[in-house]
Amino acid sequence: MRLCEQGATLALNDIDADALETLMRRLPGSSHLSVPGDISSYETARKLAAAALQRAGRIDILINNAAILHCRDITETPEDEFDRVVDANVRSAYLCCRAVIPAMVAAQQGVIVNVGSISGMAGMEFDGKSTWLYSLTKAALLQLTRSLASRYGRDGLRINAVAPGPTRTSQLRGLVPGITAEQENMMWRSTGAEKTLLGRVGEPDEIANVVFFLAGPESGFMTGSVVVADGGYLVR
């Protein structure tokens, strides 16, 4: 939304076509476009990049945000589930980077912001179960950030990541289908608020502000960085 307010043309993707359409209707301006679909498929990533280039003539910013939360011990995780989480969380970012970097290199400018997690920086459990697989994918995104920053700095690209702590979004509803509002509040309290120094979980806008900063000129001398926004969770 903040990028929109600054006059950016957005090319948005989500696998949830209805949610994407609802979001598109809320955006100010009429130049935005959406490409619904599974972003871990090359066809979707390619279509998204091509549509953005056609509409705007260039791609200034890529934000890799799609992910699914996974919370099941390694001994109980079947291979197809492993593949599904790695595809949604890592393959998606690989494909989007691959699709947009050529245009950014040609323009000798561009910014990529990867949405990681503090789960990629520590061992964590959620409701007694390990987040090992989610953590593994988020650690991969943080390393992708450093590796691509190293490779493409000479081409004028800046590549950074944000590592949010517990943030009140719809994430838990994906993890626990049918969860009630009261259960959701309780889970956010016990798995999030009680573990941060600020005694609360983050709000989506507080993470969006960091993404906005990393995407814009005020972070002009930053690349390969990971900005932690976790209310003090990790240092507690």
Ligand X SMILES: NC(=O)c1ccc[n+]([C@@H]2O[C@H](COP(=O)([O-])OP(=O)(O)OC[C@H]3O[C@@H](n4cnc5c(N)ncnc54)[C@H](O)[C@@H]3O)[C@@H](O)[C@H]2O)c1
Q: How far is the CB of 138 from ligand X (least distance, A)?
A: 7
Candidates 39, 142, 227, 228: give the one binding ligand X (CB under 6 A): 39
Decide whether 106 or 127 has the Cβ nearer to ligand X. Answer: 127
Check: CB of residue 28 under 8 Å from CB of residue 2: no
Q: How far is the CB of 156 from ligand X (least distance, A)?
A: 26
Question: Which range touches ligand X (CB under 6 A), out of 9-17, 55-63, 96-104, 211-219?
Answer: 9-17
115 binds ligand X (CB under 6 A): yes
Decide whether 178 or 217 has the Cβ nearer to ligand X. Answer: 178
Decide whether 86 or 105 has the Cβ nearer to ligand X. Answer: 86
Question: Which range touches ligand X (CB under 6 A), out of 65-73, 93-101, 104-112, 211-219?
Answer: 65-73
Residues assigned a catalytic role = 134
48 binds ligand X (CB under 6 A): no
Residue 212 to residues 27, 102, 193, 222, Cα–Cα distance (Å): 16, 23, 24, 13
Question: Which range touches ligand X (CB under 6 A), out of 64-72, 95-103, 153-161, 210-218?
Answer: 64-72
DSSP string, the chain: -HHHHTTPPPEE--S-HHHHHHHHHHSSSS--EE--S-TTSHHHHHHHHHHHHHHHSS--EEEE---------GGG--HHHHHHHHIIIIIHHHHHHHHHHHHHHHHT-EEEEEE--GGGGS--EETTEE-HHHHHHHHHHHHHHHHHHHHHGGGTEEEEEEEE-SB-SSHHHHHSTT--HHHHHHHHHHHTGGGSTTSSPBPHHHHHHHHHHHHSGGGTT--S-EEEESTTTTT-
Candidates 38, 155, 184, 206: give the one binding ligand X (CB under 6 A): 38
Within positions 160 to 199, which residues make up the interface with ligand X, using CB under 6 A? 164, 166-167, 169-171, 174
13 binds ligand X (CB under 6 A): yes
Closest CA to 199 of 156, 154, 166: 166
Question: Which range touches ligand X (CB under 6 A), out of 7-15, 101-109, 177-185, 212-220?
Answer: 7-15
What residue ranges bind ligand X (CB under 6 A)?
Answer: 13-16, 19, 38-40, 65-68, 88, 92, 115, 117, 164, 166-167, 169-171, 174
